[in-house]
Each structure stands twice: as C-alpha cells, then as structure tokens.
Chains A and B, each alone.
Chain A
Amino acid sequence: MSTFEYAPAPESRAVVDIAPSHGLFIGGEFRPAADGKVFKTVSPASEEVLSEVAWAGEADVDAAVAAARAAFPAWSALPGAERGKYLFRIARLLQEHSRELAVLETLDNGKPIRESRDVDLPLVAAHFFYYAGWADKLRYAGFGDAPRPLGVAAQVIPWNFPLLMLAWKIAPALATGNTVVLKPAETTPLTALRFAEICVQAGLPAGVVNIVTGDGATGAALVGHEGVDKVAFTGSTEVGRAIARTVAGTRKKLTLELGGKAANIVFDDAPLDQAVEGVVNGIFFNQGHVCCAGSRLLVQESVADELLDALKRRMATLRVGDPLDKNTDVGAINSAAQLARIEELTAAGEAEGAERWSPPCELPSTGYWFAPTLFTGVTQAHRVAREEIFGPVLSVLTFRTPDEAVAKANNTPYGLSAGIWTEKGSRILWMANRLRAGVIWSNTFNKFDPTSPFGGYRESGYGREGGRHGLEAYLDA
C-alpha cells in the first residue's frame, strides 16, 4: 500500500440475532396476523431478506387498540413516579442493548453504523430518560395542576430514524399516562419489534405498548380506528393531509411532523470551514433522509465561489458504501421506491437547466445507492428547489442581502427548520425572528436533544416533540 486507504472496518453482525419471522406485539405477546399475512424486510445495502414480518390487517389493529384500551385505566392511574420508573428501566435497557440495536438499525435501514451508534441510539435512550423524569412532575409542566392523559395513542412513524422516531412517540405518551399502538414503517420494522422485547424485559404491563407492523393500509386503519383518542404521525406531507382529513370532526387530538425544504443560509462572515461541515451534515447526514435536512443552500454571492469550492472538496472525501463499515459516511438509500423518487427529481433538475455535480465515487453493485449530489444554478422555480427530495441532493441558490435571504428561505409551503451561518450574533437573532420555521440552527445544523422541542410551521405539520412542549401533545390540555 502506498497511499493511506482505509481497510474495511465492518462492525460485527454477531451482536444481532434476527429471527426468521416476527409477529405483532399486542397485549404483551407476539402473535401472527389474524389472516396470516406476512411481508419481507430487506437490507437496502444488499437487498438481502432479513426477516418476515406479520402484516397487520384491520382485525389486528382492532385487537391492538383493544389491548391498549384495556391497559389504559391501570396505567394512567399508576402514580407518576412508578410510571417514570418503568421508563427509566427502558432507558437503561436501551443503553445496555445499544450496540445490538445500532447494528440492527443499520441492517434494516441502510444508515451508516457511525450514525446509528453515535447519534440514533444515544438519543433514543436519552429521550426515554428525559421523559421518565417528567412522569411524576407533570404539574410543573405548565398544563395545569393535574393534567390528564388522552387515552389510546395511535402512532405512525417513518423509516428514516426508526427507533428514534419510536422514542419520540412512545416516551412522552407513556410518561403522561397514555397507552399506545405504534406502527413502524413498512421497510424498517425490526428495531421496533426488538424494542417490544425490551418492554417485556422491563416488566411493562401488557397492552401499554403495542406494535403493529404493516404498510400504509395498516397505518390508515390505525389512525382511523374509532377507539383511539390521539393520533401522532411523522412522515410525508401528503399522508399528513390525508390523516388530518380522516380525523376531522372526531375527538382525536392530532400532531403531525411532516416534510421540509430547509434553507441553510451562509453569510460571507461565516466561519467557513464549520459552515462547510454544517452544510454537508445538513444534507448528507442519514443520506438526506431527514425531514429537516438543509436541502437548499442559500449562500451570499460574495462568498459563493469560495464556499462551493470548499464544499466540493469536502464532498469528495465523503465515504459512500457498506453501512456496517465504521468509516462509512453515507450509506444506502432506504428502498427502491425512494431511490426512484430521488432519480426522478434529479433528472427533472437537469432537464430544467440546473447544473449537476457529484464527486467521483464508486457505488456498490447491489442494493440501493445514490451518490452525494449538488445542483448549482438553481432558481426558486426549479422543482429541486421546491419539492422535498429526501435524498443526498443539495440545491444551491445565492442571495445578496439578508432580506433577500429571508424572502427566499420563507418562499416555500414548508417550515420545519433553517440554518444561519454568520459570526455576527445580532444578525443570527434578527434572521431567526423572521424565518418561518420551527427549529432554527445557527452555526450548527441537525442537532437534536430530548429537552429541545422539534416541529414545524405550516405544511411541515403541527405540534412539537421533545422538551416540556412535547408533553402537550399527549395531555388533555
């Protein structure tokens, strides 16, 4: 060897033991679907079938909601401190199983092990730990002296952060005294089912957490079920709209965390090297499968060339490949369907006249892959500037003044997040005041913490997850 190439450094798969088939978790037990239907879940990096999973139909959803309903009176009547102790147990068990869960997440989802190990799993455990502490402190949360839970929560989560989205949903719901029926995404059911086993190990009363696997039809049956009091959904804006229509006129309280088209705004006095890192992290973290991804780079014209050169240089060092390799930065696209959507939108970008660039990068021959991609010469009218791509594709636009930056950043029906890069503190706060987005990162991006509320404006959804604010979604407040 004459150059410093990193030899393969795969994380061991031996820590996980994937059963060939998985049942639904209803009333504290695993069981097949009532009609026996199953579907396969594959590793997007290799297209290897990982396991067969039960496909929940209406009867199963019905059983799960009934189990959650049956568990609700006792669970909600439990003293907060005791409920909290269950959640602390779960947090500790998650910490103990974190490497196993990280490997399982990476296998089922395609995200790099470095991210599942260093980002997803620590946040998952921390989320349960944080909300565990709230269970006996609800009267201090600002929602009244004795806030009441809602009842049975129907929760539908996406495939981009399977276990983390589960934690964001289940931890606050349980802390406030609700019981839940959660449907993980069709392509990433495995960590949720492993989580069910952790609930059993923690001694959680049967029926408090129920996991039903399936596809969109399963999710629709769940959110439409008469027996649920609360619906929480994270996913696409299109499905979010449909759910909002479904629950209209019912008693169901609804929170939605939907799509985004975030602007990452770089001023000419930004800390440039860190801005480059932030832009890269903003769009290539988790293959760009992030609802709050910084998919639009808005750069001040006076520094645009310098920033783009630095960005391309940095993109050339991104290591794309085997998600289980500890040195991989960008893993596999989660599914063939998602890959097709990314390909369709990038083709549109080229057809509309934007200039496409990717660093030289060898992609594996099996699995679903897409090279980190940059579009320059993008205008506000291009589809790649307006539509959520949900992939490793960055559209670069320029601006001249702060007002113009604000106008362009806000010029979207979405409003989930935004980034501001400048060393001038007063400008950060001025911009933050004007940007219509639920989370504003300044001189950083894609940061998450259980104590910090997350959620969108406008078509990015409503309600907040995380922090004290995240309790409201599950309280009769």
Chain B
Amino acid sequence: MPERSGKQSEKQSGKQSEKQSEQRRLAVLKTYKLYVGGAFPRSESGRVYEVTDASGRWLANAPLASRKDARNAVVAARKAFPRWSGATAYNRGQVLYRVAEMLEGRREQFRAEVADAEGLSAPKARAAVDAAIDRWVWYAGWTDKVAQVAGAANPVAGPYFNLSTPEPTGVVVVFAPQESSLLGLVSVLAPVLATGCTAVVVAAERAPLPALSLAEVLATSDVPGGVVNVLSGRVAELGPPLAAHGDVDALDLTGAGPEATALEAEAAGTLKRVRRPRPDEDWTADPGTGRLLWPLETKTVWHPMGV
C-alpha cells in the first residue's frame, strides 16, 4: 500500500508540473495552406483571409486562392487522372479505406476543428466526424461494385456480345457544401474519387479549415498527389474560371450558393456535366448511389460472335 500511494503522488506531481509548463508554453499556431499536386503551397497571389468561428473569434488565416491557383489545381488533377482512373478498383478501395484509417487516428483534431467551424456542441461535432470516417468506408466498398450495379450485359437482337460499363468522366470540380465543413465535404468528394475521377475542391468559404486539414490526411493516405486538390477562397472568384475551363469535365455545384446558376450556364460552353445544388441536403442520411453515378460515363462495347 505505501508503495502504491507513493507512485500515485509521484504521478500527481508529474501532472502538476505538466500543467505548469503548459501554462508557460506558448502554442504553435498552424499555417493553413492549399493542397495542389500533392504539395502544400501558399496561394500564388500571396493573399490570405481571416477565418473565424461562429462567434466571430479569429481561428486562423486561410489562403485566398486565385484563378492561377485554380488553373494549377486543374493541371494537377488532369495529370493525376490516368493513374488514378487506371488503378484497379480494388486498389482505389484500399486507398479510400486507408483514408478512413488515418482520419480515425486524428478524430480529436477534427472534432475540435469541426466544432469551431460550425459552432457545434462537442457531441454533435463527434457525430459529424465519426460519420465522415464511416462515409469513406462506405465509398471504399463501392469502388469495385459500382460497375456491377451500373453496368449491364445487354441482350441485343443479333449475334453480338454487348456490354455497358461505367467509366469516370475525368476532372471534377467540387464546390464543397458551405454548412457542413467535413461531413458534407467528404460526402461529395469521396464518391468522385471512388469512381476514379480526380478532383479540385473549393472548400467551404467561411469554414475551410477542416478541408485544409483533410488534405493533410489525404497526403498521408496513399492517395496519389494531384488526385485531390483543395483550394480555399471565394466561390465568386474561383468559380468562373473553373466553370469555363476547357480541361474540367464536370462540376458539382453543391456549395456554389448564389453563383450556381451562372456557373452552370458558364459550364454549358464546354458541355460539362453539372450536378446542381439541392436544397437542404441531409448529410447524415443514407447517401445512396446518386453521388456515385453522376460523374460516370457509360461505355458500350459491341463485338460479333462467330466462328
């Protein structure tokens, strides 16, 4: 018994000194950066903007990305497309599952960031982060099944083998939901990746920090550089050049807000595939397959059967 209490007091005094040093110690603040082509650059414009929590308290500065950053992000996404779309579906599934594993290890960080970003209570922030992790798992399981659900062997009337298979459309620009900084973002991004598309994400304008931190998770999760590129900044500034860009194949306008209609019209110039924003999307609900199917093209192969 005496021995035990001795240990306890030792432990207590250790805690006290820890606390004291914590009081003396000045926290190291994080410099948030963009994520483009697997690297973490500042905005080429050299600009930042202030990010605050729901009560207006300053949290950090975020890079204010420019149209040139957007251009660089599209170049990176295009460059990454052949390898990512050419990887086996099994491999993509492993990579997405790895994202879930890595995110699981950083739950505390994201709980805090999401709580600050969205003004959520601790339990609600916890639920949002856990759901975001499980969403990666959901889509990890889809990579090698989407073709089995969306493809078909077609019984054409003739001596032909006829097979329809889905293929990823290419580079997708994702305007992340404004109100759900992590769960909403994962819900729109993960399905795009699962299909084999590469993405340029415009993070939630007022709450970009969880997205910029998610980039750090992606960078250490076997996701090849350039497959996901994350920009923070103004939809009004980044949207038009991305919507008009000739090397972008699709736009997810979920978080584009009042700009959505103009961007959709801009996208018509190159006939981009567009997913319109839907009012009041519930990110906690069963995601279904809709977000998985929209960035796909169906390719049908005919081949004669004859000796």
- Chains A and B in contact, CB within 8 Å: yes
The stretch among A53-61, A124-132, A208-216, A408-416 that forms the contact with chain B is: A124-132
CB <8 Å contact, B307 and A129: no
CB <8 Å contact, A88 and B145: no
Digitize A423-450: 1 where CB-to-B-CB distance is under 8 Å, 0 elsewhere.
0011101110100000000000000001
User: A84-B141, A134-B141 are known contacts. Are A427 and B90 too (CB-CB below 8 A)?
Assistant: no
CB <8 Å contact, B137 and A430: no
Q: Which residues of B contact A431 (CB under 8 A)?
A: 307
User: What residue of chain B has the Cβ atom nearest to residue A85's Cβ?
Assistant: B137
Q: Is A468's CB within 8 Å of the partner chain B?
A: yes
Q: Which residues of A contact B134 (CB under 8 A)?
A: 81, 85
Q: Which residues of A contact B138 (CB under 8 A)?
A: 81, 136
CB <8 Å contact, A81 and B137: yes
- Tell me the complex Cα distance, A129–B144, Å: 10
Shortest CB distance A437–B (Å)? 16
Q: Which residues of B contact A129 (CB under 8 A)?
A: 90, 93-94, 97
Q: Is B127's CB within 8 Å of the partner chain A?
A: no
User: What residue of chain B has the Cβ atom nearest to residue A132's Cβ?
Assistant: B141
Majority-rule SS of A interface residues: helix
Q: Which of A149-194 contact B (CB under 8 A)?
A: none
CB <8 Å contact, B93 and A427: no
- Tell me the complex Cα distance, A426–B134, Å: 45
Q: Is B305's CB within 8 Å of the partner chain A?
A: yes
Q: How large is the interface on A (under 10, 10 to 19, 20 to 34, 35 or more residues)?
A: 20 to 34
Q: Is A326's CB within 8 Å of the partner chain B?
A: no
Q: Which residues of A contact B89 (CB under 8 A)?
A: 451
Q: Is A402's CB within 8 Å of the partner chain B?
A: yes
CB <8 Å contact, A137 and B142: yes
CB <8 Å contact, A88 and B97: yes
Shortest CB distance B266–A (Å)? 34
CB <8 Å contact, B305 and A88: no
User: What residue of chain B has the Cβ atom nearest to residue A432's Cβ?
Assistant: B305
CB <8 Å contact, B141 and A133: yes
Q: Which of A134, A425, A426 has the most CB of B within 10 A?
A: A426
Q: Which residues of A contact B303 (CB under 8 A)?
A: 425-426, 429
Q: Is B105's CB within 8 Å of the partner chain A?
A: no
CB <8 Å contact, B137 and A433: no
- Tell me the complex Cα distance, A130–B145, Å: 8
Shortest CB distance B190–A (Å)? 13
Q: Is A357's CB within 8 Å of the partner chain B?
A: no
Q: Which residues of A contact B149 (CB under 8 A)?
A: 140-141, 468
CB <8 Å contact, B304 and A429: yes
**Other than the known A84-B137, A425-B304, A427-B307, what 13 A-B pairs have Cβ atoms closer than 8 Å?**
A81-B138, A88-B97, A130-B144, A133-B145, A134-B141, A135-B141, A136-B141, A140-B145, A426-B303, A429-B306, A430-B305, A431-B307, A451-B144
Which residues of B are in contact with A by a Cβ distance under 8 Å? 89-90, 93-94, 97, 134, 137-138, 140-145, 148-149, 161, 289, 303-307
Interchain residue pairs with CB less than 8 A apart (17): A88-B137, A129-B90, A133-B93, A136-B141, A140-B145, A140-B149, A141-B149, A402-B307, A403-B307, A426-B305, A427-B307, A429-B304, A430-B306, A450-B144, A451-B89, A451-B90, A467-B148
